Amino acid sequence: MAETLVETAYAKINVALHVRGRRDDGYHRLESLFVFAEDGDRIAGEATDDGAIDLVIDGPFGSGLEVGSGNLVMKAARGLQAYLGEQRGASIRLTKNLPVASGIGGGSADAAATLRLLTRLWNVRIDPQELAALALDLGSDVPACLASVTQLVGGRGEHLARHPVADVDGRPMLLVNPGTAVSTAQVFSGWDRLDRGPLDADSLEGLIAGRNDLEQPAIALAPAIADVLDALGQQAGVRLRRMSGSGATCFALFDGQADCADAADAIAAAHPDWWTMETRIRSA
């Protein structure tokens, strides 16, 4: 019987996201601190001998995804298989626990977890830089999701540096999504093209003083994001609350787990149609 291996596709959060300019290739020049939640989607798989890549999707948000060639899990699997010249295939199951198109890197994390899973399933060695290049072809956030540790990210996602910040790793965190999907392309097109300066990611205080330059254009598309931020701001023990990525998921960092748990209960009771996830920032 084939061995089943499992990887977690950890949710990605932009603690701050500064847009510094638009590049000639159409991408934006970003500065961001990525952290990762301890929780996320689940990727499980078994190696097969027929060369086929099969994907099954389940979970609370599984119905929002298609199994076809456009799925990032399929793209990652087939891209790695082709790059390696691998003759074996895989049977993969994605359990989708994170909302789709929600600014927390769900698809990117799924793709990165698939790459990690298949290198283990097929017992292959690949140079980390080669794997990162494959990841970047799949999406700007995928390289950072390979390691899923706190990183300073620049360019469009190709410049990565491990960047632990005192008093951040392990901190309680609440994620809230109002049930609204927003288009990343539309949010970026709404950016006012003003460079408001560099990111100070050397301390929690510096991050608190930072910003997400995509927050206002996202709110213009989905006003419910402002409602989520207001609700998070009313909770006790919040050190920082902000939108992640291009939205619509927002997050709050707390001083204590009890305050985080109380906030999760209060928001779920007041807004039962919103998605919430009580978690912690992953340490690695």
Residues carrying an active site annotation? 12, 141
Please say whether the beta carbons of 250 and 225 come within 8 A.
Answer: yes
Question: Edge to edge, what strands does the sheet with 275-280 contain?
Answer: 238-243, 250-254, 172-177, 275-280
Burial class (CB in 10 A: 0-12, 13-18, 19+), 228: buried
- Whole-number Å distance between alpha carbons of 211 and 244: 10
Sorted by sequence, the CB contacts under 8 Å of residue 257 that are 6+ apart come out as 172, 280
Distances, alpha carbon 46 to alpha carbons 5, 12, 53, 89, 125, in Å:
7, 26, 10, 9, 18
Residues 278, 172: Cα–Cα separation, whole Å: 8
DSSP state of 133: H
Phi then psi for residue 181, to 5 deg, are -90, 135
Helix, coil or strand: residue 122: coil
